[in-house]
Every structure is written in C-alpha cells, then in structure tokens.
Chains A and B, each alone.
Chain A
C-alpha cells in the first residue's frame, strides 16, 4: 500500500496511507492532509486515486507544487517521488512496486471493459512472477547531437537531432538516417549511395560516430557535434 511521508526541515511530521478516497492537501481545517503554514493554500493540492495509480494535482495554489524540483500541475506519482509544498517535503513511498515489480506483466480481467477498481487492485495483489528490476521509459537518456553543413554554399546550416531517428538525404541521390542511442550517435544507409564517414563509405546497418566526424550524405558534407 502506498503512503505519503511528510516532513518539515528534516523532521517527520506525519505518515499517511493512501486508501480508496482522494486526499486533499492544504492549510484548511477540512483538508485531509493538513499543512499548517500561511504560505500553503487552503486547498493546495490533491492526490487522486485512479485504479492502482495515484495522480497528484495542484489545485491552483498560490505558491505551487513541485515534484522532484519541477513545478507540476499534474503528475502520476512514482515510488520515491519527492513532492515539495513550500517548507514541506512529502515523499511518495510505494513498497509494492519496489518489492514485487507488480504490474510488469500482462494480465487479463475476466469481466467487461468497465472494471471495478476494487477488482483492479485485487488482481495486482497477486504474487508477481516477474523479477523486481525493471527499467523504466523515464530512465532513458539518449545522446544529444547536431549536424552542421561543413562546406559549400549552405555552410553553417544546422540540423538538430530532435527525434530518436532523423532522416537525411534525398530519394535518388542517397538517403541515410541518424540514430540517437544511449551510447552515442549512429548513421546508416537507407537507400541509394552509401553515406561516407571521414571519406569512407559505410557498410550495412548502423555505424557509430564520434565528435567531429565528417558525414557525407547525398553530396552534402556535415560536421557532427555531440551534446
């Protein structure tokens, strides 16, 4: 079961389990989780319960709600998230997702498409067959980089590698693609004449590039910059 651990100036204030109902956080007497400080709004933020998930929402507070240092309007809480509301620090702890890796495997509900949340929760309390360690999409960090035309009339024109894969060149004159991976930037021939790296045509598949490499695609020469 997930809980919110509230502290102020490094001292534990309280610890609250999240049940079926949403939790209003604020300065008001009526708040479910009361933070008694003038800089906290009366109804500052809320934790909504959606199935097995807990979604933090800022309720239009005067001074804002941060998660892991970033101001948020809405955020799906993950184990270890630190919510900051002024001087208060609220740590989101969900032991189930840490210990068992629950929810990492596909499971089926033998009901109609409208699943009662109690059923959803009960199913996730089954022992999970998967190992605990699961990499998350959020943990990915792809190498950043850009290509700058190095010679000729369009010298200096820059192509940022925005997406994971960027298409280059033109049909008939040779098409290539750039790929961002955690380990670096790669280039591959798509069709037509193969791209050249430092004047050498590349083979099949993705070839790793290094900072400062000159990549020639469809007659245009580019300088690769990392970062």
Chain B
C-alpha cells in the first residue's frame, strides 16, 4: 500500500536580509522533506544550510528505512560532520551551523527529527498542533514558567538556539514517530514564518487553503513579508492523500519521474 503525498514549497529572502540563508530539500518519491536555516559567526550561513539540507536528503533518500529514527539521527550526524569538513577547508566558515527539521513519510507513519527552532506543524481536522519543541533559550524559559508564549515571540533572546548542526556544542536531534491520517496537512518551516505569524492565523490560513497547496505555500510567505519580512522564510507543505491500491508498473514509472530534489531557489 502506498500513500499519495501532495507537496508544495517556497523559500524567500524576505524584505530585510540580502541573502537567503535557508535551504530546502525534497524527495517526494522517498517521502523525505528537509528545511535548514543557516547561521554564522563570520560567514557561511547559506553554505551551512545547503550542506545540511543536501546531506540529510542524500542520506535519507538512500536509507533502507528499517530503523528510521536511527537513520534520521545518522543523517543529522552526517550533516554536522559535513559542515565541520567545510569549516576545516575554509577557515572563514568557522562557527557556521544550521537549524534543521526533517520529516520522513513512509506508510502509515511519519518520522521527524529536528535541531534548533525549525518546526513541524500538523493540521488535522482544522486543529493545528506543533509537533516539535524548539531547542531555544526562550523555550527553556517558557518551560520554567518565567515567560509567556507571547513573550517568547517578542523576546530579545528569541534567536538563541541551544542546539545546531555543525556547532561545537549539542548537535543531536530530537526524533519521534507519529501515525499519519489521510487528510493530514503537515508544515515544515523556519523561524522566519513562526516568529511573525501567530499560530491562530496560521491555522486559519492552512484550513482555508488546504485544497490548494501551491496557493497556501505562497500565501504563508506573503503573510510573513506583510509582517515585516525580517528574516528568510521557508515552508514545505505535505498533504496525506487517500491510500492507493497497488499501482501498475507503468504508473510507478510516472511516480518515479515525479521524484525531484532541489536546494534553495524558488518553488518548483
């Protein structure tokens, strides 16, 4: 049994930054989606995010899928190592890193891994749920009850992440598996979206545009930019279709032809 996935994505520089330091990787055939957001002390933020997204996508596209959580951890490890190798060759990249979220759809379950404040959301029957817990300073403060949810979005410390790929500190992802249902809509995004757009607005937009993913992806970027567009913004939307019967070989070829992978750049 295979499950059809509808996918749409956008990545945008925003209105303030000069460079898009986000990267997107999609392998629709393998059901693998990755978003990474680069950071740097000196330079290389856009390099770090691309290396991270590409490495994670390559590792997962070629993985057996037998032990998906282990394979996700290994893919994130490989991304940290690949960033480290680039730094070793190019000293001005010292201190670069990336936050990332990867979702791997296969059969009735989704496996997710994330590092930092890139997020996965799920819209199910009109209800939006955050599926990842940020690795960030404000999240720690929120858990301790020292600040409110609204204050975390206004905080001066909101960009301080406690884990990142390629950093010399903690790089290990949180991993989890969740059952999927036909009709579920998943959103992977960078902080450029969730920092500016409130979750009630996000939920309303996704519910209204659910039947047109291309329009939905474009609209999410517009919503972030209409709120100042302070950061790069990247989104991947994935809708779970109804289960399909075994497909004849000819159609399988068509499915494989749909496989696409790209990094950065506008939509597809």
Cβ of B140 under 8 Å from chain A: yes
| Nearest CB of chain B from residue A190's CB, rounded to whole Å | 5
B137 and A109 contacting across the interface, CB-CB below 8 Å: yes
How far is B137's CA from A205's CA once the two chains are assembled, in angstroms?
39
A160 part of interface (Cβ distance < 8 Å): no
User: A27–B195 Cα gap in the complex (Å)?
Assistant: 39
In residues 166-206 of chain A, which contact B (Cβ within 8 Å)?
166-168, 171, 175, 177, 179, 181-182, 188-191, 205-206
> Is A124 a contact of B204 with CB atoms below 8 Å?
no
Give chain A residues whose Cβ lies under 8 Å from the Cβ of B153.
137
Partner of B170, one of A105, A106, A112, A167: A112
Kindly state the separation between the CA atoms of A74 and B159 in the bound complex, as whole angstroms.
Answer: 22
State how many angstroms separate the Cβ of A22 from the closest Cβ of chain B. Answer: 12
Knowing A103-B159, A106-B159, A109-B161, say if A167 contacts B207 (CB, 8 Å). Answer: yes
Within 8 A of B (CB), among A120-143: 120, 123-124, 130-131, 133-140, 142
Q: Which of B5-13, B58-66, B216-224 contacts A (4 or more CB under 8 A)?
A: B216-224
A191 touches B162 (CB 8 A): no
Q: Of B141, B204, B218, which is within 8 A of A164 by CB?
A: B204
User: Is there an interface contact between A76 and B151, defined as CB atoms closer than 8 Å?
Assistant: yes
The answer on a CB contact under 8 Å between A120 and B226 is no
Q: Select from chain B the residue with minimum beta-carbon distance to A97.
A: B156
A-contact bits for B212-248, CB 8 A (1 contact / 0 none): 1001001100110011111000000000000000000
Output the nearest chain B residue to A183 by Cβ-Cβ distance.
B226
Chain A residues contacting B191 (CB-CB under 8 Å) are 106
As a 0/1 sequence over residues 137 to 163 of chain B, the CB contacts with chain A under 8 angstroms (1 = contact) are 110110000111011011111111111
Pick from B148, B155, B157, B215: contact of A188, CB below 8 A. Answer: B215
Closest to B147 in A: A50
Closest to A131 in B: B16
A109 and B151 alpha carbons, distance in the complex (Å):
20
Q: Is A52 an interface residue (CB 8 A)?
A: yes
Closest to B97 in A: A108
Tell me the complex Cα distance, A138–B191, Å. Answer: 16
Closest CB in chain A relative to B95 CB, distance in Å: 9
A95 within 8 A of B: no
Across-interface contacts of A124 in B (CB, < 8 A): 156-157
Contact of A137 among B196, B215, B218 (CB under 8 A): B196
B contact residues around A179 at 8 Å (CB): 219, 222
Kindly state whether residue B201 has any CB partner on chain A within 8 Å. yes
B122 within 8 A of A: no
Complex Cα–Cα for A167 and B155 (A): 32
B169 closest partner in A (C-beta): A110
Checking B97, B154, B162 against A113 with a beta-carbon cut-off of 8 angstroms, the contacting residue is B162
Q: Are A135 and B201 in contact (CB under 8 A)?
A: no
Is B2 in contact with chain A by the CB < 8 A criterion?
Answer: no
Task: Give, as a whole number of angstroms, the nearest-CB distance from B189 to chain A.
Answer: 14
Which residues of chain A in 37-53 are interfacial with respect to chain B, using CB atoms and an 8 Å cutoff?
A: 50-53
6 closest Cβ pairs, A-B complex: A135-B228, A167-B208, A110-B169, A163-B204, A165-B205, A108-B164
Please, could you name 20 A-B residue pairs with CB atoms under 8 Å apart, sorted by A? A50-B146, A51-B157, A53-B151, A76-B155, A103-B157, A105-B159, A106-B159, A107-B159, A109-B162, A113-B170, A115-B160, A115-B162, A130-B16, A136-B228, A139-B228, A163-B200, A163-B205, A166-B204, A175-B211, A177-B209
User: Which residues of A come within 8 Å of B, CB atoms?
Assistant: 50-53, 55, 74, 76, 78, 97, 102-115, 120, 123-124, 130-131, 133-140, 142, 162-168, 171, 175, 177, 179, 181-182, 188-191, 205-206
Known contacts A52-B156, A109-B137; can you find 13 more A-B pairs with CB under 8 A? A50-B146, A53-B157, A103-B158, A105-B159, A107-B159, A108-B169, A113-B162, A134-B16, A135-B15, A162-B204, A164-B223, A165-B208, A189-B212
